[in-house]
Amino acid sequence: MKVAIFGRGRLGSAIAQEVAAASDMELAWHIDKDEPVPGGVDLAFDASFADAVPEHLAWALETGTDLVIGVTGWTLPDLEARVGNRIAVLTSPNFSLAVALMARLSLVLGRFAALDPDLDPYVSDHHHRQKADAPSGTAKRLAAAVMAGCPRKTAWTMGTAAPHQLSVGVLRAGAEFGAHTVGLDGPAEVLELTHRARSRAVFARGALLAARWVRGRKGLFTFDQCAQETLDPLFQLGDPS
């Protein structure tokens, strides 16, 4: 598979390293902001920045190139209509398979919180000081999973939470790659689930997994759909006794 990369930042550079080590991929080009866009690839990774996503999507649709988008902080309300069945587009705020697992477990924690009104669910998000969006796309995804399991929480807030709001805490400091916690705080006990990335290689490897999975498909997809094929058997295990 001949691939290309938009963005020479942390994620783009990590993806380039993983592509170089992959026997089934060839890196045709790797460009940064304002550089001319070549063509002639099967799939492109967008690891650039939010404002560039619409332009890169338009290029992908015009050239018939599949696109894997790992940028956060952007929205296109008509994205699905734009993509249609013309190409394959996969989007994700986080390409870690472990985070996809954490989202499923966050749904379970939300359901557990729904059993007891004294249990307060929450999400925390810590990234390096230069990360632009707050909360992160991953934190929003985890918050959505918690709220899906706990109907009394219908919105999230970074401020003082009302009874219907899920508290989301954000820290932007240091050089943290990404640390997320989903927790339950009750009068008698606290339960926390934490994911901490030690290297951006984990996100790059997930991006390559997404590229291999989406190639040959048509339409709009998420990394969660890709991860489903790997993770769902874990939730279908029989009674070990």
pLDDT averaged over 10-residue windows placed end to end, the chain, 241 residues:
95 96 97 89 96 95 97 89 96 91 94 97 95 90 96 97 97 93 97 94 95 96 90 58 40
Q: What is the pLDDT of residue 233?
A: 65
Q: What is the pLDDT of residue 149?
A: 97
Q: What is the pLDDT of residue 234?
A: 60
Structural class in CATH, domain 2-95+200-234: alpha beta
213: DSSP letter = H
Q: What is the pLDDT of residue 94?
A: 86
Q: What is the pLDDT of residue 33?
A: 84
Helix (H) or strand (E) holding 71: none
CB contact at 8 A, 64 and 43: no
Q: How far is CA 208 from CA 37, 57, 60, in A?
A: 21, 19, 18
Domain locations in the chain as residue ranges: 2-95+200-234, 97-196
Note whether 2-95+200-234 and 97-196 share their fold.
no
Q: What is the pLDDT of residue 102?
A: 94
Cis, bond preceding 135 (omega within 30 deg of 0): yes
Helix (H) or strand (E) holding 60: helix 53-63
Helix (H) or strand (E) holding 121: strand 120-127
Q: Distance (Å, rounded) from C-alpha 94 to C-alpha 100? A: 8
Q: Which two tokens stand for residue 210?
A: 């997404």
Of 30, 56, 127, 180, the active-site residue reads 127
Q: Distance (Å, rounded) from C-alpha 10 to C-alpha 143? A: 25
Neighbouring-strand partners of residue 43: 3, 66
Which residue shows structure tokens 């938009």? Answer: 6
Q: Domain 97-196 is of which CATH architecture? A: 2-Layer Sandwich (3.30)
Q: The pTM is what?
A: 0.80
Of 30, 56, 131, 153, the active-site residue reads 131
Q: By C-alpha distance, which of 27, 28, 26, 83 is closest to 54?
A: 83
Check if 131 is active-site.
Answer: yes
Distance of CA 2 to the CA centre of its chain: 23
Q: What is the pLDDT of residue 235?
A: 60
